[in-house]
Each structure stands twice: as C-alpha cells, then as structure tokens.
Amino acid sequence: MIELERIVAERQGPLIGYAIRVIRDREKARDAVQEALISLVGKWNDGSAKEIADIDAWLYKVVRNNCLSMMRLKGNRNAELAPEHAEALRDESPTPDGRAMMNDDLSMIKKLIDRLQPREREILSLKLEHNKSYKEIADIMGLTSGNVGFILHETMKKIADGYRKEAIL
C-alpha cells in the first residue's frame, strides 16, 4: 500500500492542475481527480492495476474522461482559472515598469490561450505544464503522435501570431 500512497501523493497535484486547465473549475477538477484516484485504488485492491502499462498516462486519461463527462453534463467550458494558477502567472520583477510590462504580456498571452479551442488548450497544458511526450499526449487524448505534433505546432503559431498582432495595436 505504501507504493500506492506514493503514487497518489506525487500525482495528485499535477493531475488537479491538468484538470483545472481542462474543466476550468477548481472544485470539479478536484472531483475528477478524486474519482480517478478512487478508481486506481479499486484496481490496486483487486490486483488489476498490474495490467496498466503506464499508471501516469492512465491517470491522466481517466481524469480527462472524467472532466469531459462533467463538461457534457453541465456545459461548463468557461469557468475562471483557479486563483492558485492565476497566481503562478504573476511576475516578481524588481522594477515597477518591468513588472507592469511582464503582467501586460502575461495577460495578453493568457487571453490568447483562453481563445484557443479546448483541445488546443489541453494539448498545450499537457506538453508545457505537465511535460508529457507527444506519445503520452496521444495516448491520453486518443490521437496519433503526428496529430499531437501538428496541433501543438499550429497552436503555438496561433499564439505567436496573436501576440504579434496584439503587441502592434
């Protein structure tokens, strides 16, 4: 049971962060992760967890599916970013001017990310925030690695183009 406790302790925080990005509601994200962890405990207890090749990928996929189910039921795609994640976007530059410029840039990038399609935001989050490989993202989302690479490339290009346009205005 110690191994299971370690798995839960190590993965719970990153899974909640991922779920918040997908469902955009902190409490629902916690519920989605809790359901996934309960499912893992059940599999652990009945011995079927041994059949899971990659527990990390499996957990992300279950959390994703839980979030998508919740979104379908409630239609909640536009909830605000949780305060602890918004806090992470703030800069600690030493000068007020530097802080203001960085905050403006981060605010602009956040708005550009918010305009992305849910699938684009999710792939971006899995890659940049959770450091998942293309294959892991493909497994989690039911895509091919090639699709993931293409979508990620187009998403980054979309953000860069939007940033350049907004910066000019």
Question: Which domain CATH number covers 146?
Answer: 1.10.10.10
Q: What is the separation, in whole angstroms, between the first and last Cα of the chain?
A: 57
66 belongs to a structural domain: yes
Residues 50 and 108 in one domain: no
Q: What is the mean pLDDT of residues 71-78?
A: 65
- Mean model confidence pLDDT for the chain: 81
- Cβ contacts of residue 89 below 8 Å, gap of 6+? 106, 110
Evaluate if residue 89 carries a pLDDT over 70. no
Residue 115 lies in a domain: yes
Same domain? 15 vs 52? yes
Of the three residues 74, 109, 125, the one that is the final residue of a domain is 74
At 79, is the pLDDT very low, low, confident or very high (cuts 50, 70, 90)?
very low
Q: What is the pTM of this model?
A: 0.58
In the structure, what pLDDT confidence band is assigned to residue 76 with cuts at 50, 70 and 90? very low
C-alpha–C-alpha distance, residues 149 and 137, integer Å: 10
The answer to whether residues 63 and 99 belong to one domain is: no
Mean pLDDT of 90-110: 62
Q: How confident is the model at residue 2 (pLDDT cuts 50, 70, 90)?
A: confident
Residue 132 phi/psi, 5-degree rounding, is -85, 145
Does residue 81 belong to any structural domain of this protein? no
Query: Are 38 and 100 in a shared domain?
Result: no
Residues 21 and 61 in one domain: yes
In a domain, 124, yes or no: yes
Q: How much is the pLDDT for 83? A: 43
The whole domain housing 113 covers 89-168
pLDDT value of residue 147: 93
Q: Which of 118, 122, 109 is nearest to 161 (CA)?
A: 109
Work out the average pLDDT over 68-86.
58
Look at residue 79 and tell me if it is in a domain: no
The set of residues, in sequence order, having a beta carbon less than 8 Å from that of 130 and lying 6+ positions away, is 14, 17, 18, 60
Residue 148 lies in a domain: yes
Specify the higher pLDDT residue, 14 or 168: 14
Which pair of tokens denotes residue 156?
């980054």
Count of domains observed in the chain: 2
Average pLDDT over residues 76-95: 40
Mean pLDDT of 80-103: 47
